[in-house]
Structure 1
Amino acid sequence: MTIDQNQQDQHDELHQFLGAYLLGGLSDDDHRAFTEHLRTCPTCQQELGQVSGLPRLLSLVDISTQMPYAAEPTPESAAAGSTAGSSSAGLADLLNAARRRRRRRRAWLAAAAAAAAVAVFGAGTWLGPGLLDPPPPSQHFTATAAGSSAKVGVDLVKRGWGTQLNLACQDMPVGEEIVVYVVDANGRESAAGSWLGTETGYSRVTGATALRPDQIRSIEVRTSSGDVIATART
């Protein structure tokens, strides 16, 4: 087996962790392994960004908390009720109630299945752009800076209200507030987003500016104290 094949096999094995990573189901060792892999795998980064809203959607479809129902009567309990003097009318009412509970349970299950299907296949606004509809026009840039190990991939996505900035950041300062700025042709700068550096140094964030992509001349990522982490000319 070649080295390339070994690398592909390793990628395929770690890629299978993506769902469990998203839902918080990995062991500590597997979580560390996948986090390290995620830092250098654009494919996994893109897929994770597309489904990052799925846990929130699934949390809205909690069958166990939305479908309380009483235990259905057993033949033994029905017989006991008869020997205790239950009338035939009372038994009929009990059976009718059981049937209604079963119908409600089937309705809840059908609704939950439909909601889960919508979560996976139909909720483009939750799961991120591009799953079902063609993605909007975008431009990609890589931001770096002399003396800094940080690397930031920036996608400028044209929107009706301005520009959406999708950032994939590696080797960022840990625990510091980080700010992304956009600079126009006249040198005016404005903040387009901020976040706190993660323990792994990796993060995916989204920013926004009223400037159109063709009005942005440069992008700068800095610490809150003003140190330049990465910059790119557009």
Structure 2
Amino acid sequence: MRSLERHGDVGAYALGVLGEAEAFRFEDHLVECAQCTAFVSEYRPATRQLMLYRQSTPRTVHPFAAPGPRLLDRLLGEVSTRNRAGRRRFLFALAASVVLTAGGSAIALSAAGHDAPSGTVAAADPPSSQMARTDAETGVWAQVTTRERLSGSEIEVVVKDVKGPRSCELIAIGKDGSEQSVTTWMEPANHEDALTMQGGSSMRPDEIRRFEVRTADGEHLVTLNSP
């Protein structure tokens, strides 16, 4: 398949709807295409919210069920607390993912970024925690920043791994021993700069014991213990 046609598969790959063979061929394309690698990272917040919705929704719920008032209130509350410059892209992905998953109900969300009226105080973001570590055996360096949200945790991971190309994954491990995939990415070949990915977990920061960066084959690369 030509390169231009491969570019068109980036959304399907990020959402996990490509077949196994097509996904394998697209990952070969990612090794050489920095543009598609960046697009895959952009899709991660929306993909993560779709996965969290699927995990938390009982199988008896119809896939096209309309969102109830409490869900809409939570969405609007999340928007109001995060209506700040530099975070609008995440809000759009969050709202769009819930609307698409819940059956396309019309929800108008305004995040135009107008200045707050005189005398009002913008809501502060919840405090974040950060941890970083270099694994002595693999040489992989990673930094994870977590921030509590209504739906669990918003997580950013920065990774420097010069041994690509390889597909990697960040795993959150809870204090109860449960594991959740936070985000995945393709490490390009001969890439010496750090990569930054966004993801999330339904676990709150205080429920997470540690994070692990692994390859798609399960090889351990680095562990970061929560503070």
Larger RCO (alpha carbons 8 Å, 6+ apart): 2
Greater radius of gyration (CA): 1
What is the TM-score when the length of structure 2 is the normalising length? 0.45
More helix by share: 1
What is the TM-score when the length of structure 1 is the normalising length? 0.43
